[in-house]
Structure 1
Amino acid sequence: MTTSGQMVIGIDGDDTLWHMEKFYADAQRAYGALLKAYGSSEEIDARLLRTETRNIDVFGYGVKSFVLSMIETALEVSDREISGRDVETIMRIGHDILQSPTELIDGVADVIQSLSASHRLILITKGELISQERRIAESGLAASFEAIEIVSEKTPATYRTILKRHGVPVGAFVMIGNSVRSDIAPVLDIGGRAVHIPYHVTWAHEAHAPLASDSADTTATAGLWRLDSIREVPDLLARIGRAGTNDAPRG
């Protein structure tokens, strides 16, 4: 059990600890080139995003859902005329993502090692189970985390359940991640604190998600910080710790 005065750090996986979205971006460019006879890359991207969003409730997140959505979109834009060879190409595009290397973001290994010596760390990552398990294993970071949570969605209820399971008061919790929709807004909604570290490429589904609050305030009293690099996290957490209750979240 953690008291409210002790910080427990939740950390996202994809595009916070290791690169992932850049592989999707490469895949989407190849997909657009494959379907160029049926529309511009912008048109194909927009159709694919609509299909992906519609399919999330059915297929969830991850590469397999992405591939199914690519095939469905290709059938739609081609009026069911896409060839079997092109469908095979789409399958290969997905296979390439699944087989892409797990590359840690610069500074991650040192920062996680440092934080694990002084904080309880919980990895909270979203996506398809097998794929996420492989990324975690290949990252070499698993031993630094007290707990690992692979979830199908990140909502306020998801975070409440995780915190309850691990005996973490919401006032002690700080979430670190790249996605406002998944890592930041839900945590602020339940009264926790969050550190946003944007990734240079963002999936449109995640990008179109403003914070629940319409306040532009990102000071410590708002419980939200934005950093350029994970390397800045240890210094930020040290400042929060020194400030104590002055940095408590609103509400």
Structure 2
Amino acid sequence: MFNNIKVIGFDADDTLWVNETYFRDTEKVFAELLSGYETLNKIDQELFKKEIDNLEIYGYGIKGFVLSMVESAIELSNGNVSAQVIEKILNLGKEMLSKPVELLDGVEDVLKALHGKYKLIVLTKGDLLDQKRKLEKSNLSDYFHHIEVMTEKSEKDYQEVLKHLDIKADEFLMVGNSLKSDVLPLLKLGSNAVHVPFHITWAHETVSENTVAKTNIVTLTSLKELLNHIKI
């Protein structure tokens, strides 16, 4: 049981709603588009490398992902990729940006149960416009006191947000699907965090088994279980 909690933070993508599934589906289509130049596995590997290389430039989110696909297409084809294929890649991005927001099981029930008893905030990474779009389409905005779209989720980044919002570390609980971004940095700060895994995890968000074994992590099978760990 988490005691002394006054503020609960929620990650958004793959914690409140489906996200990574759309990236994986698009990666498959992209690989097929470029299959005349390389093997599917090689295309996946090169795209991932390009995404990581571009994080400091483009940040997280669909727009950066699309730009990475375009760059990868040019490089994998040695500059021979057609304008038609580039157009298809751009359209893949537009399709992702127009996807409906699919809430994960129990999300609204949990927020209803917590609303008014705790201060609820969203702390998420990604593109600002896209995250605002998803939050608006989700119809969850009224549950949250504050929404913060972060460029990164390091220990320092969380420390700055908590200071800005005047939240004491030991009175804060973070809920998210990523051990790397949503759990470990908060535990290092002396704060609280719970891990609610999503069935797909982006490779960049994975952590070693050794790290997990050395850390006391509370893992839930669904967001609804959170209500069993805090006072209602």
Answer yes or no: same fold by TM over 0.5: yes
Tell me how far apart the structure 1 counterparts of residues 86 and 33 of structure 2 sit (CA, whole Å).
Answer: 10
Identity percentage of aligned residues: 39
Is the counterpart of residue 138 in structure 1 residue 148 in structure 2?
Answer: no
Q: Check the 8 A contact 2:154/2:181 in 1, yes or no.
A: yes
What corresponds to 2:223 in structure 1? Answer: 230
CA RMSD in angstroms, aligned pairs only:
1.7
Q: TM-score, normalised by structure 1?
A: 0.87
Q: Check the 8 A contact 1:32/1:44 in 2, yes or no.
A: yes
- CA offsets 1:150-187 (integer angstroms, 9 cap, x no match): 11111111111111122211111111001112111211
Q: Check the 8 A contact 1:60/1:152 in 2, yes or no.
A: yes
Q: Check the 8 A contact 1:12/1:183 in 2, yes or no.
A: yes
Q: The residue matched to 1:36 in structure 2 has which SS? A: coil
Is the counterpart of residue 176 in structure 1 residue 175 in structure 2?
Answer: yes
- Give the CA deviation at 1:217: 5.6
Q: Check the 8 A contact 1:181/1:210 in 2, yes or no.
A: no
Aligned partner letter, 1:236:
H
What corresponds to 2:86 in structure 1? Answer: 87
Tell me how far apart the structure 1 counterparts of residues 123 and 144 of structure 2 sit (CA, whole Å).
Answer: 10
What corresponds to 1:148 in structure 2? Answer: 147
What corresponds to 1:25 in structure 2? Answer: 24
Tell me how far apart the structure 2 counterparts of residues 70 and 195 of structure 1 sit (CA, whole Å).
Answer: 33
What corresponds to 1:117 in structure 2? Answer: 116
Q: TM-score, normalised by structure 2?
A: 0.94
- Give the CA deviation at 1:17: 0.1
Q: Check the 8 A contact 1:180/1:210 in 2, yes or no.
A: no
What corresponds to 2:213 in structure 1? Answer: 216
- Give the CA deviation at 1:193: 1.4
Q: Check the 8 A contact 2:5/2:173 in 1, yes or no.
A: no
Is the counterpart of residue 6 in structure 1 residue 1 in structure 2?
Answer: no
Tell me how far apart the structure 2 counterparts of residues 154 and 215 of structure 1 sit (CA, whole Å).
Answer: 18
Unaligned runs of 5+ in 1: 242-251
Moved over 6 A (4+): none
Tell me how far apart the structure 1 counterparts of residues 148 and 190 of structure 2 sit (CA, whole Å).
Answer: 20
- CA offsets 1:73-104 (integer angstroms, 9 cap, x no match): 11111111100000001011111100111111
Is the counterpart of residue 44 in structure 1 residue 51 in structure 2?
Answer: no
Unaligned runs of 5+ in 2: none
- Give the CA deviation at 1:6: 3.5
Q: The residue matched to 1:188 in structure 2 has which SS? A: helix
- Give the CA deviation at 1:7: 3.2
Q: The residue matched to 1:18 in structure 2 has which SS? A: coil
What corresponds to 1:244 in structure 2? Answer: none
Q: Check the 8 A contact 1:15/1:178 in 2, yes or no.
A: yes
Aligned partner letter, 1:216:
A
* C-alpha spacing 1:6/1:188, structure 2 compared with 1 (3 Å): closer
Tell me how far apart the structure 2 counterparts of residues 170 and 36 of structure 1 sit (CA, whole Å).
Answer: 49
Tell me how far apart the structure 1 counterparts of residues 116 and 208 of structure 2 sit (CA, whole Å).
Answer: 34
- Give the CA deviation at 1:215: 5.9
Tell me how far apart the structure 1 counterparts of residues 41 and 196 of structure 2 sit (CA, whole Å).
Answer: 27
